Amino acid sequence: MRKIVFVSMGVLILFIACSRGYLKDGSVSPAFELTRSYWVAPLPFLVRGPGITPDKFTRDRAYDYLTMQLQKTNLFYMKDKYTIQTEIDKMGLSRVPGIGSEKACEVAKKVGAELVIVTDLTLEPEGGGLPVLAFIQILDVKTKTVFYSGRGRAINPASYEAAAEVAIDNALNALLKKL
């Protein structure tokens, strides 16, 4: 009986470790000075998924969660999201599904930021859960160098919003470990 329990526990642990539900991966550039603070322009998220039209609430909640997590580090000072959105509108980028790094850096520079954060959330409808994949890049505005890239996945059976928060935490994991 004990042997069956141990084998079952081993299979369960292996299943959890190999699950698509959890992914934490990231890379911090050696050029990223983690001993000083930065003004940052987090751009509105690109949210996508097959047959999914995420509402404004989902986008705003995930955006607010990311900025709160980064502000807790005392390394990042956030530019106001309404100022950023106004600049995006002025540049005619509001209808663009995703803003490339060149334009992202231009937006950030115009609002007085040193770094820009570009985030993609992919919502994947799947049986038994609501998986979300987050991809976060932090770029230097002047050099357009990627200082950080991170990705994380999470599944939450309750809501995409909750899954997005865990996916963002997972995507930031490598950066937060360096601080």
**Whole-angstrom Cα distance, residue 86 to residue 66?**
20
Residue 15 in this model has a pLDDT that exceeds 90: no
CA gyration radius for the chain? Answer: 18
The closest alpha carbon to 47, from 161, 171, 126, belongs to 161
pLDDT in tens, 49-65: 765 666 677 788 899 99
For residue 19, which amino acid is it?
Answer: S
Q: How high is the pLDDT of residue 55?
A: 67
Average pLDDT for 125-144: 86
Residue 8 in this model has a pLDDT that exceeds 80: no
- 161 vs 119, 132, 157, CA distance in Å? 15, 9, 11
When pLDDT is cut at 50, 70 and 90, the band that residue 47 belongs to is: confident
Q: How high is the pLDDT of residue 14?
A: 35
When pLDDT is cut at 50, 70 and 90, the band that residue 103 belongs to is: very high
For residue 161, which amino acid is it?
Answer: E
pLDDT in tens, 75-96: 999 999 999 999 999 998 887 6
Q: How high is the pLDDT of residue 130?
A: 76
Q: How high is the pLDDT of residue 126?
A: 64
More confident residue, 35 or 57: 35
Q: Which two tokens stand for residue 38?
A: 């930065």
Q: Where are the beta strands (DSSP E) in the chain?
A: 23-28, 38-42, 46-48, 76-78, 115-123, 131-140, 146-155
Count CA atoms within 13 Å of residue 119 on its CB side.
27
Question: Which residue in the block uniquely carries the two structure tokens 């309750």?
Answer: 158
**Whole-angstrom Cα distance, residue 101 to residue 145?**
10
- At the topology level of CATH, where does 21-178 sit? Rossmann fold (3.40.50)
Q: Which two tokens stand for residue 29?
A: 């550039």
Instruction: List, as own/partner pairs, every contact residues 18-22 make where C-beta atoms lie below 8 angstroms and the sequence separation is at least 24, other chains included.
Output: 20/131, 20/153, 20/155, 21/129, 21/131, 21/153, 21/154, 21/155, 22/153, 22/154, 22/155, 22/170
Q: How high is the pLDDT of residue 131?
A: 85
Structure letter (DSSP) for residue 126 = B
- pLDDT cut 70: percent of the chain above it: 80
- The neighbour count for residue 159, using CB atoms within 10 Å, is 13
Residue 2 in this model has a pLDDT that exceeds 70: no
